[in-house]
Amino acid sequence: MMDWVKTVCLVFWAFTFSSAADDYKEQALKLMAETPLIDGHNDLPWQMRSLFNNQLNMVDLYKLNTTHTNIPKIKEGRLSAQFWAAFVPCDTQYKDAVRQTLEQIDVVHRMCQKYPDVFKFAASSQDIMDAFEQNKTASLIGVEGGHSIDSSLGTLRTMYHLGVRYLTLTHSCTTPWVDNWLVDTGSEPEVHGGLSEFGKQVVREMNRIGMLIDLSHVSEKVMNQVLDISEAPIIFSHSSAYSICNHKRNVPDDVLLRVREKQGIVMINFYNDYVTCQDAANISDVADHFDHIKKVADASIIGFGGDYDGVPRVPDGLEDVSKYPDLVAELLRRKWTEDEIRDALGRNLLRVFREVEAVRDRMNAIKPDDKPIPLKEVQNPCRTDYGYQVKSSSASIQVFCPLLIFTLLNKLL
């Protein structure tokens, strides 16, 4: 008799639990139908490079199943707006980083052209809302790594004209003007004390043109320096809470408080190594980061920054971009209010974006910064020096590079 009672109780509990889970999922889908989910970072364009050498004619995004992201998964995940990363690796620095970055920008534009019923290219906060009204995924571009502009404000402005709306100041390499996060691990030396003087120029020029400043991948010193300098709110496009996982790619509590003061946003990363500091993680572990940032700083600075297709491991329950509603349901289960959910889904990012645009408009009368980085900070054997007032001619530098290679080859032979 007791066994029968236990069985009935277990069945009743399972039914009740399942019913509650269904209710949270249904509530999540309703909220996502009313408020756009905006994700801060997805590396699908790099997958197009690494898998197909950017030959989009070879790819069907309806059928591609080797990536975290495809069109059916986007639709199931209710992904309303995505910052696609125009990423190129650090070993392109001082070589062909600008060319390769332009090719990644081109990939995003061609994705939108190939699938016009799915993607709508977006370059403003209003474009995001227009795409949402049309039931399309707003497609924005973020350049991931300051090495992509080759220490050139002209290149920065040109990329803005091509639709780039954020620049991650570093990736995992220090540039001639800013230190990257590996400095904080002790594995790389500090070179600039955070930002160089030219790095501060970059920050101010980004304010002037209306480009979001992304602090994922920078050192903690750079985080604080940019928060001091920037007139506009900043973003972390794909970082999590350092107090939950002590990884230097995450954001410390004191910086979270400063982000709140500047009315910025931290878009939470799903990479296991940044979620649990281990190989394994689950959806609840990710929700812990949401809870922590909300507790320390407020729900008003939280967003989603999955880092899909840019990482080798993602949590159980968040296997691909189709799983966003399950994370929203988990937050509802944890008693997040509908207003807090709407903020995290997209309202926070839209607020930040609109303020960045407002700062741009207020700075409209300021002339473009055309002071170049000092030659001594970027000079190398294969870089020309046109425009700089130096004794050596650019012709001699151009000759020197192949001569250097020839000399080295002779020594090896």
User: Which residue numbers are catalytic?
Assistant: 41, 43, 144, 171, 217, 238, 307
Residue 256 burial (CB < 10 Å; 0-12/13-18/19+)? buried
Q: How far is CA 401 from CA 131, 151, 396, 413, in A?
A: 49, 20, 9, 19
- 290 neighbors 302 (Cβ within 8 angstroms): yes
- Distance from C-alpha of 204 to C-alpha of 412, rounded to nearest angstrom: 47
Tokens representing residue 313 in the block: 């491991």
The torsion of the CA quartet 124, 89, 37, 211, rounded to 10 degrees, works out to: -20
CA dihedral 219, 147, 154, 159 (to 10 degrees): -100
Distance, CA of 260 to CA of 164 (rounded, Å)? 25
User: CA 20, 22, 25, 31 torsion: positive or negative?
Assistant: negative
**387: Cβ contacts below 8 Å, ≥ 6 apart:** 372
Element (H, E) at 85: strand 79-87
Longest Cα pair distance anywhere in the chain, in angstroms?
A: 99
DSSP assigned state of 234: -
Write the DSSP symbol of residue 266.
E
